[in-house]
Structure 1
Amino acid sequence: MENYFISEAALLYQKTYSFIDDYQKKQSDHTSASIIVPVDYKKEFFNFIDKVNVKLMEDKDNFYGYFLFQMTRKIRFDISSPTAVNFKNAKYVIYFNPLIFLTLTLEQMETTIKHEILHIVSLHLLRARDLKNNYSKLALNMSMDIVVNTYLTHLPPDAVTLHWINMTYSLFLLPFESFEYYADNIQTALDSLTKTKNIPDADSKTNEKIKTKYDPKTTHDIWNDSDELDNQTLKKFTEKYIDASQKGMIPKYLESMIASLKKSLYELPWNLYLKKMMGSITCDRKKTTTRRNRRQPERLDLPGHLKNHKAKIIIAIDISGSISDGEFKQAMQEVLRIVQNYNHEITIVECDDEIRRTYVVRTIQDLKERINVRGGTKFSPVFEYANTKKIDLLVYFTDGLGENELLISPKKYKTLWVLSGKGDHLSLKNSYGIIKKLSPLKAEDEILDFDDVEKGGYSMNNQESISMQFD
């Protein structure tokens, strides 16, 4: 069976070069030419992919075969990997570069397809977009590949692996860590190399129409061509693909990935929850003759109403060392972005086992460095203070470790607990509010909501997109 696939792949590879040579000759003649893929070739190539797909369906990990069965398939010669994926026209699309894909063994072909599907299930198309301003494209690409390749065998010879990264950059990264963990450490190594060796920029753009070898710098550029959808919608599409692909037993690592995706579908991030809370805060109204009465618009003698309520917000931060300055600054940037369309007043309250300082913040420049005091953690002092200020909302940033019970109950205001990356639960038996987890945010990024969609695709918005596409 293996020999049959190798022979058929070799024959297809030769046919590929027959029309690639013609294209290159036209290019050398300085004529404007595009790669025209013969219809017969496309039919033969995708028949070959069907056979690989049947082999995947027959494997014990048949999840990948059924997932691939649902995907649209296309040929592109400008991708620097055997396969690539994005999301177009409400479908996941998998692209094949025959010049790279057909040089692999059957097992390696299966692996590179599994590799792309694991990127989808791991939500890398979304997570890379969220971190694109924090790390270089090369660091993100290699980090994502480490995560998925850790679970795969029979990798292509040039695949990015944890062992290769550790050897190449003199690192000691651990297996089975998060994408963000690898990105942070790899970026540090790349920055160090850039300073000491003056290596070329890893994010430089290339416009080659034909790629014949793997290049980690550009392997995920195609994600930039994806349709514009918000996070939750893309997750729901992904869930449908996953549900239709589970026809038997699946590996434990896949179960974990799928469970994480499904959990994220039904949990609003803390910042989106804050946005909804701000919209629900009760507003007082004042009379005006410039607006008609809403209930009786025909009565010109009756005044209308304008909102005239200043939302008073307390942002409490546990300064006992549970949340980093960087985390809090990013969180405050997001808070200010959300409240900017409201008449508001924000007071920062710094507290450990007692309130150490309070001050008003209007812009991010007003944010002060935290005082260097590290006591224990008590939540009650903040609630005692808030109860005297007639506030609308209390947002408390902490690792969650403090008292078991509050000494005083909150009075008529909403409470949002935001746990830092180190915290996984709130010690209070009664939270008197909503508990959410803090995740890294970037001030320049738009926050995705069902009616608030970021433009520019799923990743690497600042990079030049690849426009070449061959059906």
Structure 2
Amino acid sequence: MGTYFDTLAAGLYEQANIIAAAFLKKKRSDAKAKLHIPQEFSEEFFSLVDKVNVSLMEDKDNFYGYFLLQMTREIRFDISSPTGVNFKGACYVIYFNPLIFLNLTLKQMETTIKHEILHIVSLHLVRAKEFKAGYSPLAINTAMNLVVNTYLDNLPPYAVTLEWVNLNYSLKLLPFEPFEYYVEKLQTAIDLLETDKDETADEENTTEKIETGYDPEKTHDIWEESSDIDEKTLTEFTEKFVIHAQKGSMPNYVENLLAARKNSKGELPWNIYLKRLMGTVESNKKKTITRRNRRQPDRLDLRGQLRSHKAKIAVALDISGSISDEEFQQAIKEVFAIVKNYKHELTIIECDNEIRRVYKVQSAKDVKERSHIRGGTKFTPVFEYANANKLDLLVYFTDGKGEDELQATPKSYKTLWVISGKENSLSLKKAYGAVKKLTNVQTKDTTLDMSHVSFRDGYSMNDQEKIHI
């Protein structure tokens, strides 16, 4: 296919440039001009895409070829990557920017299509939304691209690779790690290198435009155009696409991705969700001499600003009898593992049907042995405290059994419920926040622990000889 294919691609690339130039010329006199793509060009372009798909079908991993057959295809000159995907009208749509796509070799074209399909299989289109509030588009896009590119060969020269990221961000990221691992490390590195953007920058031009190069920060912007659909429904559609694509050989790594996704049930772990929330709480800023002033960079006498991430965080711990000591210890340990990298003011609230004790902590050593006064569970007192003390974030560890409705509505702070490993739901009809599940913990059985039994007659059964049965 080599020479003929290359000649066809080169000819289409010239036509694409003529189409783009005509549009830009027209736009200079009419800002609302629309890009016109001739029918003949579209037919020839998709004829070339068909040839790429034939090559995919002939590959030993023809899963991608069968998957592509199910997708709708469109041409977009305004996306900053050779291909892009989203979900519209009960179908996945793959978009091609001819000005970028046609510059690739056949094998690189195959790779960029595989790249998009792996994003779909990994449910990145919905997972990205979970992180949008707490992480930058650059960190999210780079992390997701790292996940899928690790499995691919024949990458385009500008593709995000582990080596490139480690070199450019001074990191030591490991291969084949989950998305959450990459996005957390990348966001930290980006924050250190980032120069503040001018808040008075011009608004983004919303009219049609031409993209001629790859931009990692905008490469997944097209996901925002997807139909408004819940995660469960999108997962079901994805599974149908996968089933119909399993007519031949499926790569082992795709099987592993599907298995991992199925085991996790697409649920974002509570500790990762907490990290995301902590990145969204309102933070103060502190002056620094290591960064120039954003508005007057030439004034060396003016200091710049850094985020200090100082916010009021409260951790409510349900001490009722239904929460085990093991679960209590795990909750505390994981919270401190998360907050140790932040400068937050952390308050512990021990509660059951009322607040039993409130105290501030700096480290895990400051956590007191929990109270042995244990009643039922009532959530309202904690929210009354949170409202009165103007918190930024409330994390509530509980077994989920309490009132049906809160008597105190949360005010301007975020709430994360973390439910005991034994339970699956929250009794409240409206949670006013995300509800996640705590990892199951092995609970110690103390029903026959005689050390907890006191004797009044001067001796214990522990003093007797062992009986051999």
Q: TM-score range by the shorter chain?
A: 0.5 to 0.7
Mark the runs of 5 or more structure 1 residues left unpaired by the alignment: 271-311, 329-343, 370-381, 401-409, 431-471
Q: Closer, same or farther in 2 for the Cα pair 1:204/1:124, shift >3 Å?
A: farther
Q: Closer, same or farther in 2 for the Cα pair 1:43/1:313, shift >3 Å?
A: farther
- Deviation, structure 1 residue 257: 1.2
What code does the residue aligned with 2:382 have? V
| Alpha-carbon distance in 2 for matches of 1:32, 1:429 | 70
Helix, strand or coil at the partner of 1:118: helix
Once the two structures are superposed, residues 111-149 of structure 1 have per-residue CA deviations (whole angstroms, 9 ceiling, x without a partner) of: 000000000011111111011011001110111001100
| Alpha-carbon distance in 1 for matches of 2:12, 2:436 | 59
Map 1:165-204; keep pairs closer than 5 Å.
165-194=165-194, 198=196
| Alpha-carbon distance in 1 for matches of 2:266, 2:444 | 23
- Deviation, structure 1 residue 19: 2.1
| Alpha-carbon distance in 2 for matches of 1:203, 1:92 | 33
Helix, strand or coil at the partner of 1:94: strand
What code does the residue aligned with 1:427 have? Q
| Alpha-carbon distance in 2 for matches of 1:319, 1:367 | 27
Does structure 2 conserve the Cα–Cα contact (< 8 Å) formed by 1:88 and 1:227?
yes
Does structure 1 conserve the Cα–Cα contact (< 8 Å) formed by 2:16 and 2:98?
yes
Map 1:375-394; keep pairs closer than 5 Å.
none
Q: Is 1:5 equivalent to 2:26 in the alignment? A: no
Supply the RMSD in Å over aligned alpha carbons.
4.1
Map 1:197-346; keep pairs closer than 5 Å.
198=196, 205=204, 207=206, 209-264=209-264, 316=323, 318-319=328-329, 321-324=332-335
2:57 match? 57
What code does the residue aligned with 1:20 have? A
Once the two structures are superposed, residues 220-261 of structure 1 have per-residue CA deviations (whole angstroms, 9 ceiling, x without a partner) of: 000000001111000000000000001223222111111233
2:104 match? 104
Q: Closer, same or farther in 2 for the Cα pair 1:213/1:368, shift >3 Å?
A: closer
Helix, strand or coil at the partner of 1:248: coil
- Deviation, structure 1 residue 269: 8.8
| Alpha-carbon distance in 2 for matches of 1:187, 1:107 | 32
Helix, strand or coil at the partner of 1:318: helix
Map 1:75-94; keep pairs closer than 5 Å.
75-94=75-94
Q: Is 1:427 equivalent to 2:446 in the alignment? A: no
Does structure 1 conserve the Cα–Cα contact (< 8 Å) formed by 2:79 and 2:97?
yes
What code does the residue aligned with 1:76 have? R
Q: Closer, same or farther in 2 for the Cα pair 1:258/1:33, shift >3 Å?
A: same
Helix, strand or coil at the partner of 1:143: helix
Once the two structures are superposed, residues 388-433 of structure 1 have per-residue CA deviations (whole angstroms, 9 ceiling, x without a partner) of: xx9679x975789xxxxxxxxx9xx99x99324xxxx432499xxx
Q: Closer, same or farther in 2 for the Cα pair 1:220/1:210, shift >3 Å?
A: same
Q: Closer, same or farther in 2 for the Cα pair 1:143/1:101, shift >3 Å?
A: same
Q: Is 1:362 equivalent to 2:383 in the alignment? A: yes
| Alpha-carbon distance in 2 for matches of 1:30, 1:122 | 42
What code does the residue aligned with 1:56 have? L
| Alpha-carbon distance in 1 for matches of 2:192, 2:18 | 45
| Alpha-carbon distance in 2 for matches of 1:163, 1:204 | 35
| Alpha-carbon distance in 1 for matches of 2:156, 2:42 | 24
Does structure 1 conserve the Cα–Cα contact (< 8 Å) formed by 2:81 and 2:213?
yes
Q: Closer, same or farther in 2 for the Cα pair 1:184/1:429, shift >3 Å?
A: same
What code does the residue aligned with 1:116 have? E
Once the two structures are superposed, residues 143-178 of structure 1 have per-residue CA deviations (whole angstroms, 9 ceiling, x without a partner) of: 100110000010000011111111011111111111
Mark the runs of 5 or more structure 2 residues left unpaired by the alignment: 271-317, 340-351, 359-366, 375-380, 393-397, 405-416, 428-434, 446-469
Helix, strand or coil at the partner of 2:157: coil
What code does the residue aligned with 1:261 have? R
Does structure 1 conserve the Cα–Cα contact (< 8 Å) formed by 2:85 and 2:94?
yes
| Alpha-carbon distance in 2 for matches of 1:417, 1:94 | 33
| Alpha-carbon distance in 2 for matches of 1:367, 1:78 | 44
- Name the TM-score, length of structure 2 as normaliser: 0.63
| Alpha-carbon distance in 2 for matches of 1:17, 1:268 | 43
Q: Which segment drifts farther, 103-112 or 2-11?
A: 2-11
Does structure 2 conserve the Cα–Cα contact (< 8 Å) formed by 1:313 and 1:391?
no
- Deviation, structure 1 residue 362: 1.9
What code does the residue aligned with 2:85 have? V
Q: Closer, same or farther in 2 for the Cα pair 1:15/1:322, shift >3 Å?
A: same
Helix, strand or coil at the partner of 1:37: coil
| Alpha-carbon distance in 2 for matches of 1:146, 1:267 | 21
1:439 match? none
- Name the TM-score, length of structure 1 as normaliser: 0.63
1:33 match? 33
Q: Closer, same or farther in 2 for the Cα pair 1:347/1:45, shift >3 Å?
A: farther
1:307 match? none
- Deviation, structure 1 residue 313: 11
Map 1:143-158; keep pairs closer than 5 Å.
143-158=143-158
Q: Closer, same or farther in 2 for the Cα pair 1:139/1:57, shift >3 Å?
A: same
Does structure 2 conserve the Cα–Cα contact (< 8 Å) formed by 1:26 and 1:32?
no
- Deviation, structure 1 residue 180: 1.3
Does structure 1 conserve the Cα–Cα contact (< 8 Å) formed by 2:319 and 2:371?
no
Q: Percent identity?
A: 49
Does structure 2 conserve the Cα–Cα contact (< 8 Å) formed by 1:349 and 1:358?
no
What code does the residue aligned with 1:419 have? L
Once the two structures are superposed, residues 25-50 of structure 1 have per-residue CA deviations (whole angstroms, 9 ceiling, x without a partner) of: 21233464211000111111111111
Taking CA–CA contacts closer than 8 Å with sequence separation of 6 or more, which of the two structures ends up with the larger relative contact order? 1
1:418 match? 437
Does structure 2 conserve the Cα–Cα contact (< 8 Å) formed by 1:80 and 1:215?
yes
Q: Closer, same or farther in 2 for the Cα pair 1:209/1:362, shift >3 Å?
A: same
